[in-house]
Structure 1
Amino acid sequence: MSPIVPIVTLPFFPVLDQKLLELLRSLTPADWQRPTLAREWTVKDVAAHLLDGNLRTLSMLRDGFYGEAPPEDPHSYEGMVRYLNRLNADWVRAARRLSPTVLIELLAQSGAEYTAYLGMLDPWAPAAWAVGWAGETESLNWFHIARDYTEKWHHQQQIHVAVGGPGLLTRELFRPFLETCLRGLPHAYRQVAAPVGTVVQVRVETPIGGVWHLVKAADAWVLQPPGAASAAPAAEVTLSPEVAWQLFTKGLSPTQAREQAQLGGNRQLGEAALHLLAIMG
Protein backbone atom coordinates (compact mmCIF):
# COMPACT_ATOMS: atom_id res chain seq x y z
CA MET A 1 0.00 0.00 0.00
CA SER A 2 1.27 3.49 -0.84
CA PRO A 3 1.67 5.75 2.20
CA ILE A 4 -0.60 8.76 2.63
CA VAL A 5 1.43 11.87 3.40
CA PRO A 6 0.42 14.26 6.19
CA ILE A 7 -1.75 17.26 5.37
CA VAL A 8 -0.13 20.66 5.89
CA THR A 9 -2.72 23.16 7.10
CA LEU A 10 -0.98 25.44 9.61
CA PRO A 11 0.09 28.10 7.04
CA PHE A 12 -3.57 28.67 6.14
CA PHE A 13 -4.83 29.53 9.63
CA PRO A 14 -3.78 33.22 9.40
CA VAL A 15 -5.42 33.41 5.96
CA LEU A 16 -8.69 32.09 7.36
CA ASP A 17 -8.50 34.52 10.29
CA GLN A 18 -7.93 37.48 8.00
CA LYS A 19 -10.85 36.54 5.78
CA LEU A 20 -13.10 36.00 8.79
CA LEU A 21 -12.31 39.40 10.29
CA GLU A 22 -12.82 41.14 6.94
CA LEU A 23 -16.18 39.43 6.55
CA LEU A 24 -17.42 40.13 10.06
CA ARG A 25 -16.39 43.80 9.89
CA SER A 26 -18.51 44.18 6.75
CA LEU A 27 -21.73 42.85 8.28
CA THR A 28 -24.83 44.89 9.02
CA PRO A 29 -26.75 44.44 12.29
CA ALA A 30 -29.31 42.34 10.40
CA ASP A 31 -26.58 40.11 8.98
CA TRP A 32 -25.45 39.07 12.45
CA GLN A 33 -28.89 37.61 13.13
CA ARG A 34 -29.23 35.61 9.92
CA PRO A 35 -29.79 31.86 10.28
CA THR A 36 -27.03 29.48 9.23
CA LEU A 37 -26.61 25.84 8.30
CA ALA A 38 -25.46 25.24 11.90
CA ARG A 39 -28.97 24.32 12.96
CA GLU A 40 -30.31 26.86 15.48
CA TRP A 41 -27.24 29.10 15.43
CA THR A 42 -27.24 32.56 13.89
CA VAL A 43 -24.24 34.18 12.23
CA LYS A 44 -23.36 35.76 15.58
CA ASP A 45 -23.62 32.38 17.31
CA VAL A 46 -21.26 30.77 14.79
CA ALA A 47 -18.76 33.60 15.22
CA ALA A 48 -18.96 33.09 18.99
CA HIS A 49 -18.35 29.37 18.51
CA LEU A 50 -15.21 30.13 16.50
CA LEU A 51 -14.03 32.34 19.35
CA ASP A 52 -14.71 29.51 21.79
CA GLY A 53 -12.49 27.23 19.71
CA ASN A 54 -9.61 29.65 20.08
CA LEU A 55 -10.05 30.30 23.79
CA ARG A 56 -10.78 26.68 24.68
CA THR A 57 -7.63 25.43 22.96
CA LEU A 58 -5.46 28.10 24.58
CA SER A 59 -6.95 27.43 28.02
CA MET A 60 -7.03 23.63 27.93
CA LEU A 61 -4.05 22.66 25.84
CA ARG A 62 -1.64 25.58 26.12
CA ASP A 63 -2.36 26.50 29.75
CA GLY A 64 -3.55 23.12 31.06
CA PHE A 65 -6.74 24.62 32.52
CA TYR A 66 -9.91 22.68 31.75
CA GLY A 67 -12.48 24.36 33.98
CA GLU A 68 -14.86 21.50 33.29
CA ALA A 69 -13.26 18.08 33.36
CA PRO A 70 -13.34 16.07 30.11
CA PRO A 71 -15.05 12.65 30.00
CA GLU A 72 -13.56 9.96 32.23
CA ASP A 73 -12.92 7.88 29.12
CA PRO A 74 -11.46 10.27 26.51
CA HIS A 75 -11.65 7.47 23.91
CA SER A 76 -15.45 7.19 24.23
CA TYR A 77 -16.87 8.78 21.07
CA GLU A 78 -20.36 9.17 22.52
CA GLY A 79 -19.05 10.59 25.79
CA MET A 80 -16.86 13.09 23.98
CA VAL A 81 -19.76 14.20 21.76
CA ARG A 82 -21.96 14.83 24.81
CA TYR A 83 -19.15 16.73 26.51
CA LEU A 84 -18.46 18.93 23.48
CA ASN A 85 -22.15 19.58 22.77
CA ARG A 86 -22.63 20.78 26.35
CA LEU A 87 -19.60 23.07 26.19
CA ASN A 88 -20.68 24.46 22.82
CA ALA A 89 -24.25 25.18 23.92
CA ASP A 90 -23.22 26.79 27.20
CA TRP A 91 -20.71 29.07 25.49
CA VAL A 92 -22.97 30.20 22.65
CA ARG A 93 -25.78 30.97 25.08
CA ALA A 94 -23.50 33.11 27.27
CA ALA A 95 -21.83 34.82 24.30
CA ARG A 96 -25.16 36.24 23.14
CA ARG A 97 -24.44 38.95 25.71
CA LEU A 98 -21.39 40.08 23.73
CA SER A 99 -21.60 42.74 21.06
CA PRO A 100 -20.35 42.08 17.52
CA THR A 101 -17.57 44.60 18.15
CA VAL A 102 -16.36 42.70 21.21
CA LEU A 103 -16.53 39.39 19.33
CA ILE A 104 -14.41 40.78 16.50
CA GLU A 105 -11.82 42.20 18.90
CA LEU A 106 -11.54 38.92 20.79
CA LEU A 107 -11.32 36.89 17.59
CA ALA A 108 -8.49 39.11 16.31
CA GLN A 109 -6.46 38.75 19.49
CA SER A 110 -7.10 35.09 20.21
CA GLY A 111 -6.69 33.94 16.60
CA ALA A 112 -3.06 35.04 16.48
CA GLU A 113 -2.31 33.40 19.85
CA TYR A 114 -4.09 30.24 18.80
CA THR A 115 -2.04 29.89 15.61
CA ALA A 116 1.17 30.65 17.48
CA TYR A 117 0.38 27.84 19.94
CA LEU A 118 -0.29 25.34 17.15
CA GLY A 119 3.03 26.32 15.59
CA MET A 120 4.83 25.25 18.77
CA LEU A 121 3.53 21.68 18.57
CA ASP A 122 5.67 18.84 17.25
CA PRO A 123 3.57 17.63 14.30
CA TRP A 124 4.72 14.04 14.88
CA ALA A 125 3.99 13.95 18.61
CA PRO A 126 0.74 12.46 19.98
CA ALA A 127 -2.08 14.97 20.10
CA ALA A 128 -4.01 15.75 23.27
CA TRP A 129 -7.25 14.79 21.52
CA ALA A 130 -7.74 12.03 18.98
CA VAL A 131 -9.63 12.66 15.75
CA GLY A 132 -12.61 10.55 16.73
CA TRP A 133 -14.61 11.00 13.54
CA ALA A 134 -11.77 9.28 11.67
CA GLY A 135 -11.93 6.33 14.06
CA GLU A 136 -8.64 7.12 15.77
CA THR A 137 -8.05 6.65 19.49
CA GLU A 138 -4.68 8.38 19.23
CA SER A 139 -3.75 10.98 16.63
CA LEU A 140 -0.61 12.88 15.77
CA ASN A 141 -0.54 16.65 16.13
CA TRP A 142 -0.50 17.26 12.38
CA PHE A 143 -3.89 15.53 12.11
CA HIS A 144 -5.22 17.33 15.18
CA ILE A 145 -4.19 20.65 13.57
CA ALA A 146 -5.79 19.62 10.27
CA ARG A 147 -8.99 18.72 12.12
CA ASP A 148 -8.98 22.17 13.72
CA TYR A 149 -8.55 23.65 10.25
CA THR A 150 -11.71 21.91 9.04
CA GLU A 151 -13.59 23.37 12.02
CA LYS A 152 -12.47 26.90 11.25
CA TRP A 153 -13.07 26.45 7.51
CA HIS A 154 -16.57 25.05 7.60
CA HIS A 155 -17.94 27.37 10.27
CA GLN A 156 -16.62 30.40 8.43
CA GLN A 157 -18.07 29.01 5.20
CA GLN A 158 -21.44 28.74 6.96
CA ILE A 159 -21.27 32.48 7.68
CA HIS A 160 -20.35 33.26 4.07
CA VAL A 161 -23.33 31.28 2.83
CA ALA A 162 -25.70 32.96 5.29
CA VAL A 163 -24.71 36.51 4.35
CA GLY A 164 -23.80 36.05 0.68
CA GLY A 165 -20.07 36.42 1.27
CA PRO A 166 -17.40 35.43 -1.28
CA GLY A 167 -16.85 32.08 0.41
CA LEU A 168 -13.82 29.87 0.87
CA LEU A 169 -14.20 27.60 -2.16
CA THR A 170 -10.72 28.19 -3.56
CA ARG A 171 -8.13 25.52 -4.23
CA GLU A 172 -5.75 27.02 -1.66
CA LEU A 173 -8.27 26.85 1.19
CA PHE A 174 -10.79 24.18 0.18
CA ARG A 175 -8.36 21.43 -0.82
CA PRO A 176 -6.79 21.06 2.67
CA PHE A 177 -10.28 20.96 4.16
CA LEU A 178 -11.35 18.29 1.69
CA GLU A 179 -8.25 16.15 2.08
CA THR A 180 -8.65 16.17 5.85
CA CYS A 181 -12.33 15.23 5.72
CA LEU A 182 -11.64 12.33 3.38
CA ARG A 183 -9.22 10.80 5.88
CA GLY A 184 -12.45 9.67 7.54
CA LEU A 185 -13.48 7.49 4.57
CA PRO A 186 -11.96 4.24 5.92
CA HIS A 187 -13.88 4.72 9.17
CA ALA A 188 -17.11 5.43 7.25
CA TYR A 189 -16.63 2.09 5.46
CA ARG A 190 -15.57 0.10 8.52
CA GLN A 191 -18.70 -2.09 8.46
CA VAL A 192 -18.95 -2.40 4.67
CA ALA A 193 -18.08 -5.88 3.43
CA ALA A 194 -16.34 -6.33 0.08
CA PRO A 195 -13.71 -8.61 -1.50
CA VAL A 196 -10.08 -7.71 -0.88
CA GLY A 197 -8.88 -5.35 -3.60
CA THR A 198 -12.26 -3.67 -4.14
CA VAL A 199 -11.84 -0.01 -5.07
CA VAL A 200 -14.25 2.86 -4.38
CA GLN A 201 -13.50 6.12 -6.17
CA VAL A 202 -14.62 9.45 -4.71
CA ARG A 203 -14.35 12.46 -6.99
CA VAL A 204 -15.04 16.07 -6.07
CA GLU A 205 -15.58 18.08 -9.22
CA THR A 206 -13.86 21.19 -10.59
CA PRO A 207 -10.16 22.13 -10.30
CA ILE A 208 -10.52 22.76 -6.54
CA GLY A 209 -11.58 19.15 -5.95
CA GLY A 210 -9.77 15.92 -6.72
CA VAL A 211 -9.97 12.12 -6.86
CA TRP A 212 -9.47 9.64 -3.99
CA HIS A 213 -9.40 5.84 -3.97
CA LEU A 214 -10.52 3.67 -1.08
CA VAL A 215 -9.23 0.10 -1.30
CA LYS A 216 -10.36 -2.94 0.69
CA ALA A 217 -7.41 -4.64 2.36
CA ALA A 218 -7.47 -7.86 4.35
CA ASP A 219 -8.68 -6.31 7.59
CA ALA A 220 -9.66 -2.73 6.79
CA TRP A 221 -10.34 -0.16 4.10
CA VAL A 222 -7.31 1.96 3.15
CA LEU A 223 -7.21 5.38 1.51
CA GLN A 224 -4.74 5.51 -1.37
CA PRO A 225 -3.61 8.27 -3.73
CA PRO A 226 -4.99 8.17 -7.29
CA GLY A 227 -3.15 5.71 -9.50
CA ALA A 228 -2.01 3.51 -6.62
CA ALA A 229 -4.98 1.12 -6.83
CA SER A 230 -4.42 -1.90 -9.08
CA ALA A 231 -8.09 -2.51 -9.96
CA ALA A 232 -10.80 -0.47 -11.66
CA PRO A 233 -13.31 1.14 -9.26
CA ALA A 234 -16.28 -1.03 -8.35
CA ALA A 235 -18.16 2.11 -7.30
CA GLU A 236 -17.76 5.76 -8.22
CA VAL A 237 -19.09 8.72 -6.25
CA THR A 238 -18.98 12.21 -7.72
CA LEU A 239 -19.86 15.31 -5.71
CA SER A 240 -19.75 19.04 -6.35
CA PRO A 241 -17.65 21.07 -3.90
CA GLU A 242 -20.83 22.67 -2.52
CA VAL A 243 -22.43 19.31 -1.81
CA ALA A 244 -19.21 17.78 -0.45
CA TRP A 245 -18.49 20.34 2.26
CA GLN A 246 -22.09 20.47 3.46
CA LEU A 247 -22.45 16.69 3.48
CA PHE A 248 -19.30 16.13 5.50
CA THR A 249 -20.32 18.72 8.12
CA LYS A 250 -24.04 17.87 8.56
CA GLY A 251 -25.28 20.70 6.38
CA LEU A 252 -26.87 18.07 4.14
CA SER A 253 -28.15 14.65 5.11
CA PRO A 254 -27.04 11.58 3.14
CA THR A 255 -30.53 11.44 1.63
CA GLN A 256 -30.34 15.06 0.48
CA ALA A 257 -26.83 14.56 -0.90
CA ARG A 258 -27.85 11.41 -2.77
CA GLU A 259 -30.24 13.50 -4.86
CA GLN A 260 -27.33 15.68 -6.03
CA ALA A 261 -24.54 13.09 -6.19
CA GLN A 262 -23.57 10.98 -9.19
CA LEU A 263 -23.25 7.29 -8.32
CA GLY A 264 -21.73 4.81 -10.76
CA GLY A 265 -21.09 1.08 -10.56
CA ASN A 266 -22.22 -0.60 -7.35
CA ARG A 267 -24.57 2.04 -5.96
CA GLN A 268 -24.93 0.42 -2.55
CA LEU A 269 -21.16 0.36 -2.16
CA GLY A 270 -20.86 3.97 -3.26
CA GLU A 271 -23.62 5.24 -1.00
CA ALA A 272 -21.56 4.43 2.09
CA ALA A 273 -19.37 7.43 1.20
CA LEU A 274 -22.39 9.66 1.75
CA HIS A 275 -22.27 8.78 5.45
CA LEU A 276 -18.82 10.28 5.96
CA LEU A 277 -19.08 12.79 8.80
CA ALA A 278 -16.03 14.92 9.53
CA ILE A 279 -17.29 16.55 12.71
CA MET A 280 -18.06 15.19 16.15
CA GLY A 281 -21.80 14.68 16.23
Structure 2
Amino acid sequence: MLHLPVPTTIHLFPVLDEHLLTLLRSLEPADWHHPTVAPQWDVQAIALHLLDGNLRTLSMLRDGYFGVAGPASSAYKDVVTYLNELNATWVTAGRRLSPHVITWLLEMSGSYYNTYLASLDQDAPATFAVAWAGEETSSNRFHIARDYTEKWHHQQQIRLAVGQADALLQPALYQPFLLTCLQALPHHYRAVEAPPGTAIQVTIIEPGAVTCYVYRDENGWQLLAAYQGESTTTITLEGEVAWRLFTKSLPPAQAAAHAHVTGNAQLAEPFWRLVTVMG
Protein backbone atom coordinates (compact mmCIF):
# COMPACT_ATOMS: atom_id res chain seq x y z
CA MET A 1 0.00 0.00 0.00
CA LEU A 2 1.25 3.46 -0.90
CA HIS A 3 1.26 5.88 2.01
CA LEU A 4 0.47 9.52 1.30
CA PRO A 5 3.80 11.36 1.63
CA VAL A 6 4.32 14.79 3.10
CA PRO A 7 4.67 17.11 0.09
CA THR A 8 7.88 18.98 -0.62
CA THR A 9 6.98 22.66 -0.44
CA ILE A 10 10.24 24.59 -0.09
CA HIS A 11 10.20 25.72 -3.75
CA LEU A 12 6.77 27.31 -3.26
CA PHE A 13 7.68 29.82 -0.55
CA PRO A 14 9.08 32.49 -2.92
CA VAL A 15 5.98 32.09 -5.12
CA LEU A 16 3.71 32.53 -2.11
CA ASP A 17 5.69 35.59 -0.99
CA GLU A 18 5.42 37.22 -4.39
CA HIS A 19 1.66 36.77 -4.35
CA LEU A 20 1.52 38.29 -0.86
CA LEU A 21 3.66 41.32 -1.65
CA THR A 22 1.72 42.04 -4.84
CA LEU A 23 -1.52 41.80 -2.91
CA LEU A 24 -0.43 44.07 -0.04
CA ARG A 25 0.92 46.71 -2.39
CA SER A 26 -2.45 46.79 -4.17
CA LEU A 27 -4.47 47.53 -1.03
CA GLU A 28 -6.01 50.88 -0.22
CA PRO A 29 -5.43 52.24 3.33
CA ALA A 30 -8.96 51.27 4.39
CA ASP A 31 -8.42 47.68 3.21
CA TRP A 32 -5.88 47.09 5.99
CA HIS A 33 -8.68 47.43 8.53
CA HIS A 34 -11.10 44.97 6.93
CA PRO A 35 -12.16 42.22 9.35
CA THR A 36 -11.15 38.67 8.48
CA VAL A 37 -12.39 35.20 9.35
CA ALA A 38 -9.73 35.13 12.10
CA PRO A 39 -11.55 36.32 15.25
CA GLN A 40 -10.58 39.87 16.28
CA TRP A 41 -7.90 40.14 13.58
CA ASP A 42 -8.09 42.51 10.65
CA VAL A 43 -5.87 42.49 7.56
CA GLN A 44 -3.12 44.44 9.28
CA ALA A 45 -3.03 42.01 12.21
CA ILE A 46 -2.62 39.02 9.92
CA ALA A 47 0.12 40.72 7.93
CA LEU A 48 1.90 41.41 11.23
CA HIS A 49 1.46 37.78 12.23
CA LEU A 50 3.10 36.67 8.98
CA LEU A 51 5.99 39.03 9.69
CA ASP A 52 6.33 37.60 13.18
CA GLY A 53 6.59 34.11 11.69
CA ASN A 54 9.54 35.18 9.55
CA LEU A 55 11.39 37.00 12.32
CA ARG A 56 10.73 34.43 15.03
CA THR A 57 11.94 31.56 12.83
CA LEU A 58 15.13 33.40 11.97
CA SER A 59 15.74 34.32 15.61
CA MET A 60 14.98 30.95 17.16
CA LEU A 61 15.95 28.37 14.58
CA ARG A 62 18.67 30.11 12.56
CA ASP A 63 20.25 32.17 15.37
CA GLY A 64 19.37 30.01 18.38
CA TYR A 65 17.88 32.97 20.24
CA PHE A 66 14.58 32.27 21.96
CA GLY A 67 14.32 35.55 23.88
CA VAL A 68 11.56 34.59 26.29
CA ALA A 69 10.74 31.52 28.35
CA GLY A 70 8.78 28.82 26.57
CA PRO A 71 5.39 27.35 27.49
CA ALA A 72 4.73 26.04 31.00
CA SER A 73 4.93 22.48 29.64
CA SER A 74 4.83 20.59 26.36
CA ALA A 75 1.13 19.82 26.89
CA TYR A 76 -1.01 20.92 23.95
CA LYS A 77 -3.05 23.35 26.08
CA ASP A 78 0.06 25.05 27.49
CA VAL A 79 1.62 25.39 24.04
CA VAL A 80 -1.56 26.95 22.63
CA THR A 81 -1.78 29.41 25.54
CA TYR A 82 1.85 30.37 25.06
CA LEU A 83 1.46 30.92 21.31
CA ASN A 84 -1.73 32.93 21.72
CA GLU A 85 -0.01 35.27 24.18
CA LEU A 86 2.99 35.71 21.88
CA ASN A 87 0.73 36.46 18.92
CA ALA A 88 -1.38 38.98 20.83
CA THR A 89 1.53 40.98 22.25
CA TRP A 90 3.26 41.11 18.86
CA VAL A 91 0.19 42.37 17.03
CA THR A 92 -0.44 45.02 19.69
CA ALA A 93 3.08 46.40 19.34
CA GLY A 94 3.00 46.09 15.53
CA ARG A 95 0.02 48.43 15.26
CA ARG A 96 2.62 51.22 15.42
CA LEU A 97 3.91 50.23 11.98
CA SER A 98 2.52 51.61 8.74
CA PRO A 99 1.30 49.31 5.96
CA HIS A 100 4.29 50.40 3.88
CA VAL A 101 6.75 49.46 6.61
CA ILE A 102 5.03 46.11 7.25
CA THR A 103 5.20 45.25 3.54
CA TRP A 104 8.85 46.31 3.35
CA LEU A 105 9.76 44.17 6.37
CA LEU A 106 7.90 41.18 4.94
CA GLU A 107 9.85 41.49 1.70
CA MET A 108 13.21 41.81 3.42
CA SER A 109 12.70 39.11 6.05
CA GLY A 110 11.00 36.72 3.63
CA SER A 111 14.13 36.40 1.54
CA TYR A 112 16.24 35.45 4.56
CA TYR A 113 13.52 33.16 5.88
CA ASN A 114 13.30 31.25 2.59
CA THR A 115 17.08 30.95 2.36
CA TYR A 116 17.23 29.50 5.85
CA LEU A 117 14.52 26.91 5.18
CA ALA A 118 16.22 25.90 1.93
CA SER A 119 19.44 25.24 3.86
CA LEU A 120 17.84 22.54 6.02
CA ASP A 121 18.24 18.82 5.39
CA GLN A 122 14.68 17.85 4.46
CA ASP A 123 14.93 14.43 6.11
CA ALA A 124 16.69 15.48 9.33
CA PRO A 125 14.70 15.91 12.57
CA ALA A 126 13.08 19.32 12.98
CA THR A 127 13.49 21.45 16.08
CA PHE A 128 9.73 21.49 16.60
CA ALA A 129 7.43 18.56 15.93
CA VAL A 130 4.11 18.97 14.11
CA ALA A 131 1.87 18.71 17.15
CA TRP A 132 -1.44 18.88 15.31
CA ALA A 133 -0.49 15.64 13.54
CA GLY A 134 0.26 13.97 16.87
CA GLU A 135 4.00 13.74 16.20
CA GLU A 136 6.66 13.93 18.90
CA THR A 137 9.45 14.11 16.32
CA SER A 138 9.00 15.42 12.78
CA SER A 139 11.25 15.73 9.76
CA ASN A 140 12.25 19.14 8.45
CA ARG A 141 10.17 18.30 5.38
CA PHE A 142 7.04 18.16 7.54
CA HIS A 143 8.08 21.21 9.56
CA ILE A 144 8.55 23.19 6.33
CA ALA A 145 5.23 21.94 4.94
CA ARG A 146 3.55 22.96 8.19
CA ASP A 147 5.04 26.45 7.79
CA TYR A 148 3.73 26.47 4.23
CA THR A 149 0.19 25.82 5.48
CA GLU A 150 0.58 28.72 7.92
CA LYS A 151 1.71 31.15 5.25
CA TRP A 152 -0.88 29.89 2.76
CA HIS A 153 -3.92 30.10 5.00
CA HIS A 154 -3.05 33.45 6.58
CA GLN A 155 -2.56 35.01 3.17
CA GLN A 156 -5.84 33.42 2.09
CA GLN A 157 -7.57 35.02 5.10
CA ILE A 158 -6.39 38.41 3.85
CA ARG A 159 -7.47 37.60 0.31
CA LEU A 160 -10.92 36.51 1.41
CA ALA A 161 -11.32 39.76 3.35
CA VAL A 162 -10.46 41.96 0.36
CA GLY A 163 -12.20 39.92 -2.35
CA GLN A 164 -9.11 38.46 -4.04
CA ALA A 165 -9.39 34.81 -2.99
CA ASP A 166 -8.73 33.02 -6.28
CA ALA A 167 -4.95 33.37 -6.68
CA LEU A 168 -3.98 30.81 -4.02
CA LEU A 169 -6.67 28.32 -5.03
CA GLN A 170 -4.74 27.28 -8.14
CA PRO A 171 -3.85 23.57 -7.73
CA ALA A 172 -0.09 24.15 -7.73
CA LEU A 173 -0.42 26.16 -4.51
CA TYR A 174 -3.59 24.73 -2.96
CA GLN A 175 -2.91 20.99 -3.33
CA PRO A 176 0.29 21.07 -1.20
CA PHE A 177 -1.67 22.86 1.52
CA LEU A 178 -4.39 20.20 1.48
CA LEU A 179 -1.98 17.27 1.27
CA THR A 180 -0.14 18.59 4.33
CA CYS A 181 -3.30 19.14 6.36
CA LEU A 182 -4.56 15.65 5.56
CA GLN A 183 -1.47 14.20 7.27
CA ALA A 184 -3.33 14.80 10.56
CA LEU A 185 -6.11 12.33 9.75
CA PRO A 186 -4.59 9.20 11.39
CA HIS A 187 -4.08 11.21 14.59
CA HIS A 188 -7.72 12.29 14.57
CA TYR A 189 -8.87 8.71 14.06
CA ARG A 190 -6.56 7.21 16.71
CA ALA A 191 -9.39 6.58 19.20
CA VAL A 192 -11.84 5.19 16.63
CA GLU A 193 -12.39 1.45 16.92
CA ALA A 194 -12.88 -0.37 13.63
CA PRO A 195 -11.90 -3.77 12.23
CA PRO A 196 -8.74 -4.06 10.10
CA GLY A 197 -9.60 -3.42 6.47
CA THR A 198 -11.84 -0.44 7.22
CA ALA A 199 -11.19 2.33 4.69
CA ILE A 200 -12.48 5.91 4.63
CA GLN A 201 -12.12 7.75 1.34
CA VAL A 202 -11.65 11.52 1.56
CA THR A 203 -12.01 13.50 -1.64
CA ILE A 204 -11.67 17.26 -1.88
CA ILE A 205 -12.99 18.39 -5.22
CA GLU A 206 -11.83 21.31 -7.34
CA PRO A 207 -10.08 23.61 -6.90
CA GLY A 208 -8.21 21.23 -4.60
CA ALA A 209 -8.83 17.92 -6.38
CA VAL A 210 -7.09 15.51 -4.00
CA THR A 211 -8.11 12.07 -2.73
CA CYS A 212 -6.69 9.99 0.11
CA TYR A 213 -7.72 7.07 2.31
CA VAL A 214 -7.65 6.58 6.06
CA TYR A 215 -7.10 2.85 6.40
CA ARG A 216 -7.22 0.65 9.48
CA ASP A 217 -4.69 -2.18 9.68
CA GLU A 218 -3.47 -4.30 12.59
CA ASN A 219 -1.22 -1.46 13.80
CA GLY A 220 -3.77 1.37 13.71
CA TRP A 221 -4.89 3.99 11.22
CA GLN A 222 -2.71 4.78 8.19
CA LEU A 223 -2.95 7.48 5.52
CA LEU A 224 -2.85 6.07 2.00
CA ALA A 225 -2.53 7.72 -1.39
CA ALA A 226 -4.43 4.87 -3.07
CA TYR A 227 -6.60 1.92 -2.06
CA GLN A 228 -7.94 -0.81 -4.31
CA GLY A 229 -10.68 -2.19 -2.06
CA GLU A 230 -14.16 -0.92 -1.28
CA SER A 231 -14.40 2.05 1.07
CA THR A 232 -16.55 1.76 4.17
CA THR A 233 -17.21 5.52 4.13
CA THR A 234 -16.69 8.21 1.51
CA ILE A 235 -16.46 11.92 2.26
CA THR A 236 -16.55 14.42 -0.59
CA LEU A 237 -15.96 18.07 0.34
CA GLU A 238 -16.05 21.21 -1.81
CA GLY A 239 -12.55 22.54 -2.36
CA GLU A 240 -13.36 26.19 -1.72
CA VAL A 241 -14.36 25.50 1.90
CA ALA A 242 -11.86 22.77 2.85
CA TRP A 243 -9.15 25.20 3.94
CA ARG A 244 -11.56 27.01 6.23
CA LEU A 245 -12.58 23.78 7.97
CA PHE A 246 -8.96 22.82 8.57
CA THR A 247 -8.06 26.24 10.00
CA LYS A 248 -11.06 26.70 12.33
CA SER A 249 -12.72 29.51 10.37
CA LEU A 250 -15.74 27.43 9.34
CA PRO A 251 -17.67 25.43 11.97
CA PRO A 252 -17.95 21.70 11.23
CA ALA A 253 -21.74 21.86 10.85
CA GLN A 254 -21.41 24.53 8.17
CA ALA A 255 -18.62 22.64 6.41
CA ALA A 256 -20.77 19.49 6.39
CA ALA A 257 -23.38 21.41 4.38
CA HIS A 258 -20.78 21.57 1.58
CA ALA A 259 -20.04 17.84 1.69
CA HIS A 260 -21.53 14.51 0.68
CA VAL A 261 -21.07 11.39 2.82
CA THR A 262 -21.93 7.83 1.83
CA GLY A 263 -21.63 4.57 3.75
CA ASN A 264 -21.07 4.57 7.51
CA ALA A 265 -21.62 8.23 8.40
CA GLN A 266 -20.41 7.72 11.97
CA LEU A 267 -16.91 7.06 10.67
CA ALA A 268 -16.93 10.49 9.05
CA GLU A 269 -17.27 12.32 12.37
CA PRO A 270 -13.53 12.66 13.20
CA PHE A 271 -12.95 14.29 9.81
CA TRP A 272 -15.03 17.32 10.80
CA ARG A 273 -12.72 17.92 13.76
CA LEU A 274 -9.56 18.02 11.62
CA VAL A 275 -7.67 21.13 12.71
CA THR A 276 -4.18 22.02 11.49
CA VAL A 277 -3.47 25.20 13.41
CA MET A 278 -2.27 25.75 16.95
CA GLY A 279 -4.43 28.21 18.85
TM-score range, shorter chain: over 0.9
Kindly provide the CA deviation profile for residues 85-108 of structure 1, in whole angstroms up to 9, marking residues without a partner as x: 111111111111111010000000
Q: Give the structure 1 partner of residue 79 of structure 2.
A: 80
Q: Give the structure 2 partner of residue 102 of structure 1.
A: 101
Which of the numbers 232, 235, 238 marks the counterpart of 1:234?
232
Cα-Cα RMSD: 1.2
Contiguous gaps of at least 5 residues in structure 2: none
Q: Give the structure 2 partner of residue 180 of structure 1.
A: 180
Q: Give the structure 1 partner of residue 10 of structure 2.
A: 10
Distance 1:82 1:157 in 2: 24
Instruction: Give yes or no for contact 2:170–2:207 (8 Å, CA) kept in 1.
Output: no
Scaled by the length of structure 1, the TM-score of the pair is 0.96
Q: Give the structure 2 partner of residue 270 of structure 1.
A: 268
Distance 2:244 2:154 in 1: 11
3-state SS of the aligned residue for 1:247? helix
3-state SS of the aligned residue for 2:34? coil
Distance apart, 1:167 and its partner CA = 3.3
Distance apart, 1:219 and its partner CA = 3.2
Instruction: Give yes or no for contact 2:178–2:208 (8 Å, CA) kept in 1.
Output: no
Aligned-pair identity in percent equals 53
Distance 1:103 1:207 in 2: 31
Distance 1:94 1:248 in 2: 29
3-state SS of the aligned residue for 1:123? coil
Distance 1:84 1:232 in 2: 42
Question: For residues 204 and 99 of structure 1, do their structure 2 counterparts lie closer, same or farther at Cα, with a shift above 3 Å needed?
Answer: same
Deviation >4 Å, runs of 4+ = none
Contiguous gaps of at least 5 residues in structure 1: none
Distance apart, 1:73 and its partner CA = 3.7
Question: For residues 169 and 86 of structure 1, do their structure 2 counterparts lie closer, same or farther at Cα, with a shift above 3 Å needed?
Answer: same
Instruction: Give yes or no for contact 1:71–1:79 (8 Å, CA) kept in 2.
Output: yes
Distance 1:62 1:224 in 2: 34
Q: How many residues align?
A: 278
Distance 2:3 2:273 in 1: 24
Q: Give the structure 1 partner of residue 245 of structure 2.
A: 247
Distance apart, 1:5 and its partner CA = 3.0
Scaled by the length of structure 2, the TM-score of the pair is 0.97
Q: Give the structure 2 partner of residue 279 of structure 1.
A: 277
Is the deviation greater in 156-165 or in 252-261? Answer: 252-261
Distance apart, 1:202 and its partner CA = 0.4
Distance apart, 1:4 and its partner CA = 3.5
Distance 1:197 1:230 in 2: 11
